[in-house]
Amino acid sequence: MVAGEDSNPRPWCCSLAISRRTTGRLNVFHSRPYTNLWLQVRVLPGVFDTLDDPTLSDAIQTLSKESRIPIRLDLEALKTLGIAPDVRVPYKMAGLVTLRSGLNLVLAGLDLGFEREEKGLVISRREKPTRSDELSQPQQFCLKRIEKVLAGNTTYDFQDKTLDEVAKHFEGQTRENFVLDPAARRKGALDPKASVTGSGNDVFLQEGLKKLLDPLGLKLTIRDEVVVITSKSMVE
């Protein structure tokens, strides 16, 4: 065990699938789209890198490095969209999700998507929804598990805490990832420093979160294996 490692790690969804680090196989071309592509970004500092508002280029390099799957940016496509490789991605994450979900979260709000090519993946303009937009098996499992977590009870008391601090609190309490929606942050519809005040005693977690987020015009959703806090103004 690495020094400082949690002896009771989070029940990450990726424990369901065969990791590329274990098999040594590149699983890009399986018939089920991207089910076995794993983003190995650990919550433990010093073990794997975390994503903390990186540039688009740095984020893609991190995902490529941790998954050991070649991923490149289609620079011509980015240019037509007016997106520079060094654009800042408002995304903080320290956890373990599939590569597919990791890419979805990073690319949210940039009108970008990804597709397979001969040697790996390419980041380009997001086309119309395809079969790959359907939930994968790990994503379906995580959705059901997170729904059960949100149906559990919780007690909390926040006095002028930032939204970011509230998200981190519930991450520690539930051992699930809480992400402030990158798309909402990019559009200025969500401020991580927004003040949150409220308390609840042995209430349903989902109900408590709704009461905390409603005054800020925010809501809760589950996608890409994490709990996402987003703006009610965002079009789903």
Query: Could you give the percent of the chain with pLDDT greater than 90?
Result: 53
Mean pLDDT (whole number) for 180-200: 94
pTM for the model: 0.76
Residue 27 in this model has a pLDDT that exceeds 70: no
Nearest to 218 by CA among 190, 187, 182, 196: 190
Main-chain dihedrals φ then ψ at residue 231, nearest 5 degrees: -90, 145
**128 pLDDT band (50/70/90 cuts)?**
low
Please report the pLDDT score of residue 38 as a whole number. 42
Mean pLDDT (whole number) for 178-199: 94
Mean pLDDT (whole number) for 144-163: 96
Q: Tell me the C-alpha distance between 118 and 93, whole Å.
A: 29
Mean pLDDT (whole number) for 82-104: 89
Domains annotated for the chain, with CATH where assigned, are 13-133 (3.55.50.30), 137-231 (3.55.50.30)
Residue 157 in this model has a pLDDT that exceeds 90: yes
Q: Tell me the C-alpha distance between 9 and 210, whole Å.
A: 27
Do 17 and 27 form a contact (C-beta atoms < 8 A)?
no
Mean pLDDT (whole number) for 41-65: 69
